[in-house]
A and B are shown apart, each in its own frame.
Chain A
Amino acid sequence: MQEKTFKQKAVKIVPISLIAVAIIWFGGAAAGLAPVLLQRLAGIVLVTMVYALLLAIPKTELKEKSLFQNLKIKIPVIIVIAAIIWVVAGQAGFPIWWQIEFVAFALVGLFYFVLLDLRTMKPEKGQFHAVIRLIGTYAFASVLFIVITAQLPQFDPAHEIEKLNRPPVKLSGLAGPEVIAAGREVFEQNKCFNCHKVFWEGNSDRGPNLGTKQIGLYSEDYIKEQILEPRKTQSPGFEDPKSKKAMPTYYDEDLSEDELAALVSYLKTMRDPTHMPVEGKFPDQWTWWDDPKILEEGKIVFEGLEPATEGLNCAVCHGKDGIPMMTGALDFRNENQPDTDKMPDHLPGVQMKDWPDGLWYKRVTRGVEGTPMAPWGTIFPHLYLWKAEAYARTFHDPLDKRAEKRPVPPIPTKEDIEKWKTEGLFLDPLL
């Protein structure tokens, strides 16, 4: 029987594979399988198709080449491939160091392919020749590994020594900023940055960004509970089994009382006077503006029913249903309301629907001079004030009528945080 030609085989392989991909794609989607799983299955089928096509190629003698011939053919090809990788990686947003890495691996590929097509080595001419080659092999491996370990990014052990020589945190005699600095040290020593960002610092989204979540708004007891008994309450958006297990449970044993107190002091500084707190696991995040649970809690505060803010009742002036009970009180139903002109820092020409988060916060925490709107931020925990603001917005922008969530604000930078301090946006002198 005559063997089939490549074309005959390809005519069978390609349609069968594509049909299989289509079945996986549409059938899997209909069966409710996860898109990631479908992508992987389709990928495996396509890779198998390529393998099948390559195996269908009729046998040809391998053309071995000298090093020069090899490079002559492959260098132009690798230049084109490297250029494509560079541009595509750049477009995808990879920083330059990763672009360099990808191109370097393309060059490793060039090395492999040169080696594969290289002319068969001549046998050793004698033992001396064999020894030279042997030493060459060991030298190649050694130089390769030494160069790799020498060229990858290094650290200076002096910094670790410095950390190791620091005394343990003891709070006696320390005050304010020193305690916060000690807490920062505890945070670093216990490698909290491995899972938590603090605003711009850190690089893992395994746990909540404690800066944008504004963990500092919460009570000390709650923060301590989160450290010592992390399984008790899970941060919104981190309810998946992997996240539930992620936070270690041994800090009760590991942290001394002083260390815990210092750590909590540091965590209490994590607040953002310019944005609503952000919840959820990257990239599925949302702000409190759009959090139904927060809005419910905000309603309780707004209507004066929250025990933690006893004495605060927004509804007394602004109305339970948003209809102001007092002349001059802000009407939250009117989305076109301007900012008050009674304050020196007023923001002219911006309607309430477009007010930045920081303006809401400022007006509530600092009040409006000459009006019954008191600086509530000096009296009540800001956690509840943010919640009440989130609820107040629903009078002109009801949750069920929103077409889309408010965008998650960009993560504040080091400069932003410095600015909050210099501009005195925090009421707390320590921040």
Chain B
Amino acid sequence: MDSSRTLQNKPLLFKIILVLLFVYGLAHLAPQPVSSISGIWGPSSALAQDDEFEEFDEFEEEEEGEEEGGDEEASAEGEEGEAAEGEEEEDLSYLTDIGPAKDHEFEPYSFMGLSNRKFTWAAAQLHILFASFILGCPMFVVIMEVMGARRTQGVRKAIILANVFLGILIGVVIGITGEIIVGIHHGVLYGLWACAFAALIVSFLNYFHRLMNVKAAAVVGGIFGTVIAIPLTPVEHIEVSGVILAIINGVVGGVLSNMIMFAKSDFKFERLAHEITKVIGMCYSFTALTGGLFLFVMLVLYQDFITYLVANFPVLFLVAYPTLFILETIVMYIYVYSWDPLNQANKKGRHIVCGVFLNILGLTLLCALDGPATFMQTPPKPLDELANMGEWSKIATSTWMPLNYHRLVGNGTFGGYMVGVIGAYMYLWSNKREEKEYYDWVGYMGNNIGVAIMIPLPAMGYIYVREIYEYDATIGMYIMSDRESMFMLVQGLLVGTMFSASNIYMWVSMKRIENAQRFFPAMKFGFILIVISATIWFTPRRFFATMMPEPGMNPDMVLPDNLAFLALMISKNTAAFALVTVTFINYIFYTIATKTGKVHYGKINPLGIYVLIFLGFADIWLMSWMGTIRELSRMNWHVYKVFKDVTPEKFAPTLAESGFHVTTIVWTFFIIMTATIWLAIKYPKSKKKSESIPAQTAPQMAE
């Protein structure tokens, strides 16, 4: 019965998707509130300067009625006849005479209501979203593959490498948090060395079936990690705080390595890792496609600037980037397509090693491209000397490492929530009980990964913005207190929404766990704390959208001085701490419930599935939003205080306009992702539906 119904529904499903695509296309045809140039692809030959004033004129006309000529703007158009007689022509060279923007020529385009900036914005954002997915997911896919693999000798050898890789990632995140938030000198190096070497030593001993006990692994990891980290960290005086940080990292590295090495192999992880990898493989093509689109868009719409940017990084763009990209492509496809053959050949260990290399290449690529991105925002000083600086100085800017950390953790969160979305989709598309059980578990794992990696994310964001403030407080103020202050308020709302949604998912999930209801009164109290924390996080110092009230704004919308503390960082940090803590407590309740009661996977309240999808959408929307904030924070500069943006769209768009545009970008991403998930996971299953596929295929044989 079920299968026949499914067959009947399928054409309908296709129709609905087609109709939706059509509606989506129509929505894009709707006129946008930006200047439209006649013709769909209608280039105008005017120079930037002229168009700028044409636009300004249009605005003036709206404001002042049909007032003609005589104003400054008209004279700016070069219509000498309209300029007042005897008056010297206004010198407007200041608009274009700064640095490389001097010879800038700009042609505005419009296509279906999208302007130059919105095109570029959409192409760049889509590229970053796909890139985040293909860089974020492999980090935990490898760990899941390890968790799902039988502990053969080859696998155990590969686990040593995988554990060291994980140790480096975790060590760096804990270390940088200790360095910046607590103020430990060279904390990141303490964290990195201690965690990585603890993982190496403990894994190595584990390989020889020594040090089986987790407590002993913690002690050995703590001691050896610290002993190695101290001489490797170049500090003049060893401080207690640094040693404590090294011990913590050593213990974490040791315990995790031990737990992973001796974890009971669960095939669900293997299957999850494999399915996600199939999606990654398809998304890889979209990453390349959108990357190409972005480059073409830049070449057409911002030709001068992209030429300038690429010319500043000859080695990177001519050698390093193509090499890394080609290598990553090769390793990626080997990883995707060697999965089954290597499993069948009992060479799982080699596959895991391949996955680790894929991650190393991916992260290197991420760091390499963060160079030009941070160069645009914080070019190395002194700016007069920029032309004589080496390429490395332009890559390793002051915000380069902070952005690397931020994107590393952000991509992990992104990947986690996308796993939740994949689980939710497949749950909805599955009819069999076993499949529903499995995908219910996938959703649970996705939420766990997303929430767990999201916890250090605010710290990484703080580290990044702190460095921006150090570089030039004007950018920091533009973000936090001026034109982007309301954008940041939206970020606060989104973070609160995401934490709330994660907790609602846990609540809904716990309804399918026996004996879990004893936690509900305490969890409800947690929700009260969440609402209070979200309120504090949101509360602004002022309710007008700029630092100082502009015409049309109400200057009285300011908190009195004695209540201003609610809007300060100390209150926001307390609220963030409370949000994270309540989520962590609920997670503990959830974990206890799953350990002490039977979990009825496959019987989740459908609300939970839609909450997972909402979470994925919210996370990706938030990520796009933060990207928007970062890009706009350069103000009217392509490269801050070096290459001026003299195009008509050099201003910050309004919150409403940005919100709508980001939503359309995220919709585009989700439409492509929906099709990708269907093609990568669902469609192959549908093809083989006549064959019976067990939900849990037997694991591979031992070597």
Contact = CB atoms under 8 A, between A and B. Distances in A.
Interface of A: 40, 47, 50-51, 54-55, 57, 59-62, 92-95, 97-98, 101-102, 105-106, 108-109, 112-113, 115-116, 118, 120-124, 126-128, 130-131, 133-138, 140-142, 145-146, 148-150, 152-161, 164-165, 167-168, 188, 190-191, 193-194, 201-205, 248, 250, 253-254, 282-283
Given A156-B552, A203-B542, A55 B522 contact: yes
Interface string B208-230: 00000000000000000000000
A410 to B, nearest CB: 11
A173 to B, nearest CB: 11
Contact of A127 (B6, B92, B500, B546): B6
A57 B12 CA distance: 50
B521 A112 contact: no
B330 interface: no
Contact of B654 (A50, A122, A154): A154
Which 5 pairs, one residue from A and one from B, show the smallest C-beta to C-beta distance?
A149-B659, A54-B522, A127-B9, A109-B531, A191-B477
Contacts of A130: 428-429
Nearest to B589: A55
A276 B527 CA distance: 50
A193 B547 contact: yes
Contacts of B5: 126
Contacts of B474: 190-191, 248, 254
B294 interface: no
A180 to B, nearest CB: 17
Nearest to B551: A159
Contacts of B564: 203, 205
A215 to B, nearest CB: 18
A142 B667 contact: yes
Given A153-B486, A157-B654, A205-B564, A101 B539 contact: yes
A102 B525 CA distance: 18
Nearest to A133: B610
B690 interface: no
Given A126-B9, A194-B477, A203 B558 contact: yes
Contact of A105 (B483, B517, B538): B538
A155 B545 contact: yes
Q: How large is the interface on B (under 10, 10 to 19, 20 to 34, 35 or more residues)?
A: 35 or more
A201 to B, nearest CB: 7
A133 B16 CA distance: 13
Contacts of B610: 133-134, 136-137
Interface in B598-631: 605-607, 610, 613-614, 617-618, 621
Given A123-B606, A190-B474, A94 B563 contact: yes
Contact of B606 (A121, A153, A188): A121
Given A62-B511, A101-B538, A160 B483 contact: yes
B529 A47 contact: yes
Chain A CB count within 10 A is highest, among B20, B529, B534, B656, for B656
Given A120-B511, A138-B667, A164-B636, A105 B534 contact: yes
A152 B518 contact: no
B517 A60 contact: yes
A115 B610 CA distance: 13
Contact of B52 (A57, A124, A149, A165): A165
A109 B519 CA distance: 19
Nearest to A122: B606
B331 interface: no
Nearest to B645: A164
Given A112-B527, A152-B486, A159 B667 contact: no
Interface in B504-552: 504, 507, 511, 515, 517-522, 524-525, 527-531, 534-535, 538-539, 541-548, 550-552
Interface string B43-64: 0000000001001100100000
Nearest to B503: A112
B300 interface: no
20 contacts: A51-B525, A55-B519, A94-B563, A105-B538, A112-B500, A115-B607, A116-B527, A127-B13, A127-B428, A145-B659, A150-B656, A153-B545, A153-B557, A157-B652, A165-B52, A167-B92, A201-B548, A204-B481, A205-B561, A283-B562
Interface string B355-377: 00000000000000000000000
A50 B511 CA distance: 23
Nearest to A155: B545
Chain A CB count within 10 A is highest, among B473, B507, B517, B557, for B473
Given A150-B656, A203-B564, A158 B59 contact: yes
Contacts of B16: 128, 131
B535 A105 contact: yes
Contacts of A108: 531, 534
Contact of A149 (B95, B556, B660): B660
Contacts of B670: 138
Nearest to A201: B548
B10 to A, nearest CB: 7
B613 A59 contact: no
Contact of B651 (A95, A120, A137, A164): A164
B576 to A, nearest CB: 14
Contact of B489 (A50, A54, A152, A160): A152
Nearest to A92: B563
Contacts of A155: 483, 486, 544-546, 550, 553, 652, 654-655
Nearest to A130: B428
Contacts of A141: 614, 617-618, 621
A120 B556 contact: no
Nearest to A108: B531
Contact of A152 (B20, B490, B511): B490
B435 to A, nearest CB: 14
Chain B CB count within 10 A is highest, among A127, A202, A205, for A127
A137 B522 CA distance: 28
A17 B305 CA distance: 64
B20 to A, nearest CB: 7
B531 A131 contact: no
Contact of A153 (B13, B553, B574, B613): B553
Nearest to A123: B606
Given A153-B486, A191-B478, A283-B561, A135 B20 contact: yes
B651 A160 contact: yes
Nearest to B52: A165
Contacts of A123: 606
Interface string B6-42: 1001101100100010000000000000000000000
B81 interface: no
Given A94-B559, A95-B557, A121-B605, A159 B652 contact: no
Contacts of A253: 381-382
Given A160-B652, A188-B548, A51 B585 contact: yes
A253 B381 CA distance: 10
Given A126-B9, A131-B16, A156-B550, 13 more contacts: A54-B522, A62-B517, A62-B520, A101-B538, A127-B428, A133-B606, A137-B610, A137-B613, A141-B621, A142-B617, A146-B663, A194-B547, A203-B564
B614 A137 contact: yes
A224 B20 CA distance: 62
Contact of A93 (B20, B560, B650): B560
Nearest to B504: A115
B482 interface: yes
Contacts of A94: 559, 563
Contacts of A106: 531
Contacts of A133: 606, 610
Contact of B548 (A60, A122, A193): A193
B660 A146 contact: yes
B695 interface: no
B314 interface: no
Contacts of A127: 6, 9-10, 12-13, 428-429
A124 B654 CA distance: 40
A145 B658 contact: no
A202 B548 contact: yes
